[in-house]
A and B are shown apart, each in its own frame.
Chain A
Amino acid sequence: MMLDRRRLLTSALTLGAMHAFPGLSLAQARPLVFATFTGSWEEAHKAVLVPAFRKANADAAIVLDPMLSVDQIAKVNAAKANPPIDVMLHDPGPALVAIGQDLVDPFPADKSAYYKDLIPEAQDAMGPAPFFQVVGLTYNPETVKTPPTSWADLWKPEFKGKVGITNLNSTLGTGWLVEIARMRGGSEANVDEGFKALEELKPNLAAVAANPGALATLFQQGQIDISPGNFNAIQILKARGVPVEFVAPKEGAIAFKTTIHIVKNSPNKELAFKLIEAALSPEVQTTLMNSPYLIVPTNTKVAMSGEIAKVLAKDTAELKKKFVFQDWKKINEQRASWIEKFNRDIKI
């Protein structure tokens, strides 16, 4: 009697699981799954990229499944032969991990109508970059009367107890450390000078946030007056009435590529390619560049306008002059040991 019940329960559970995870039995006939990021990325992609893709592809079925890069990698890794995601979106660090773990297919650049128009930094055989994220200086214009012009301004005595940074968990935190190391003669392979600079920054540090999002809260609460910050995040804060301004430092604003990849063994490769095409197209990039999204385009055919033209760059030539790109392959090699050092040394 007991055994029967148990067997019944097991089969019920199996049926339930198959129902809950239809991917187990129906691999082929599913819509295109695009794993974008959560938050403003999801909003922008839902409002602009998805409609553009569907219009160009006879209303093909597509599902947005927003999640962090790490989760995308974990999910694809768990089912390499039959991945639940077709298109992945990544920051530079995780992108290299995904490529290193053999989870992505090369992008068929010769088939693409837009790939050749991308600025060279955005072209990558394993997956092009449809967008840039830009990191510069963020400050509160109500308390900081003279706008900062350089990363070095963070060390000024007038900002004692007013500076916020993030730890190295984020792309922003790690990229910024590399940049201040470069400012003092270091490089992606050697950030010792950066750590020395951090040590000197300690009297000025008001907060080391656990993630870039927490920096926003600290600005709102007046806890910090100046910090490195992400252009997009700042524009969103500004639109909500928080007194913040973004400026590109004279050393150059740090540009991170956000790359888009076709997942290896995806059952929807053709549609995946079409989605990436839509993301690279000047039409989509132009819409996303304008308010309220303010996402920096990578296609040279997009004419810069609005806030981006005003604060960042008027055209591609100026963009290339004002942006610095980093070698994340080199950064990834040592990132673990930097994080360890940061954990140990940075206590305020």
Chain B
Amino acid sequence: MKSATAASTTAPRDVTSFSLGLALPLGAAFAIFFVLPLAQLFYLSLHNDTAATVWGLGQYIKFLTDPFSLSVLGATLLLGAEVTLACLVLGYPIAWLYQRSGSRVQTLIIMIVLLPLLTSVVVRTFAWIVILGRQGIINSVLQSLGLIGTPLRMIYTQGGLIAALAQVQMPLMVLPLITAIGRIDPNLSDASASLGAGSWRTFVKVMLPLSMPGIIAGCTLTYAAAITAFITQSLVGGGQMLFMPMYLYQQASTLQNWPFAAAISIIFLFAVLAIVALFSTLGRRARGYGDAR
């Protein structure tokens, strides 16, 4: 306790005490280019007819009482959860390995993780079409090994879409994890081992809770990116798998039903905000957990 107060007197100024004026340029840009259009969107969604002349909550009632629309929302949120889980399960070992490797291997891992970020999402998505297609890499390998007779259908399926999205969004998961795991004192796992805990128990009781802030940050980023990934969803998912971004596009672009599209956006926004809020609540609790060492 005593050492904590001593540290706070010598520590640099708390960031929140700097003048808010420094945030003004970005704040103004946000107000003009984000808050204002958002308010306009909300205003538009409060109209019952496509020409936006009759006020009412009709669009929201239409969406929230329509089982089909709700199923689209559900499918989108579920897709995000599946992609996030895949990224977490595949990304955690990479971040772990990074902290346990020498500097040359670390550079290699960072290169591999960052490489996808240097190519456009469209290019990465097209690559997945080539990989998953009927004459794609996976199908031709399986066929030449004699494991399958006719090519498997992988493109335009939920599984194919999850694989593609997980790869496309992977850096967003791995980078926060690397930072979080890097902050864990390596002596802690040695201490846990010397006190008799097995490696699995050390992982569950020590490493996992301490890396929780990174997991939460990674999951929030991956989740938000996966559910809004219009390009990957439509190119690898195809035209019969409907998710919120495509639903919205269809209403606004093809049907010119802007008020309904606006209502869909607002509902989607709040659904995503709710999940991000959930993640950040978990994150705050995890941070308390992490500091309590």
Contact = CB atoms under 8 A, between A and B. Distances in A.
Interface of A: 2, 5-6, 9, 13, 68, 70, 73, 93, 97, 161, 166-170, 173, 206-211, 214, 217, 221-223, 335-336, 339-340, 343-344, 346-348
Nearest to B131: A221
Contact of A209 (B32, B238, B242): B238
B24 interface: yes
17 contacts: A9-B25, A13-B32, A70-B254, A168-B254, A208-B156, A208-B239, A208-B240, A210-B238, A211-B239, A214-B234, A214-B235, A214-B238, A221-B136, A222-B133, A222-B135, A339-B250, A339-B254
B238 A207 contact: yes
A343 B133 CA distance: 24
B246 A221 contact: no
B32 A211 contact: no
A210 B129 contact: no
Contact of A348 (B21, B240, B256): B240
Contacts of A168: 254
A164 B247 CA distance: 21
Interface size class of B (residues with CB under 8 A): 20 to 34
A169 B253 contact: yes
B135 A221 contact: yes
B287 interface: no
A68 B253 contact: yes
Interface string B108-133: 00000000000000000010011001
A343 B68 CA distance: 9
A5 B250 contact: no
Nearest to A167: B239
B255 A339 contact: yes
Contact of A221 (B24, B25, B133, B253): B133
Nearest to A171: B254
A217 B238 CA distance: 12
A2 B21 CA distance: 8
B155 A207 contact: yes
Nearest to A340: B68
DSSP majority for the B interface?
helix
Nearest to B29: A13
Contacts of A214: 234-235, 238-239
Contacts of B246: 210
Contacts of A348: 156, 240
Given A9-B24, A9-B28, A13-B28, A210 B135 contact: no
A33 to B, nearest CB: 21
B257 interface: yes
B201 interface: no
B130 to A, nearest CB: 7
B130 A221 contact: yes
Interface in B136-159: 136, 153, 155-156
A167 B155 contact: no
B252 interface: yes
A206 B32 CA distance: 45
Interface in B253-291: 253-257
A321 B25 CA distance: 64
Given A70-B253, A169-B250, A217-B129, A209 B239 contact: yes
B129 A5 contact: no
A217 B156 contact: no
**Across the A-B interface, the 5 shortest Cβ-Cβ residue pairs:** A167-B239, A221-B133, A208-B240, A210-B234, A208-B239
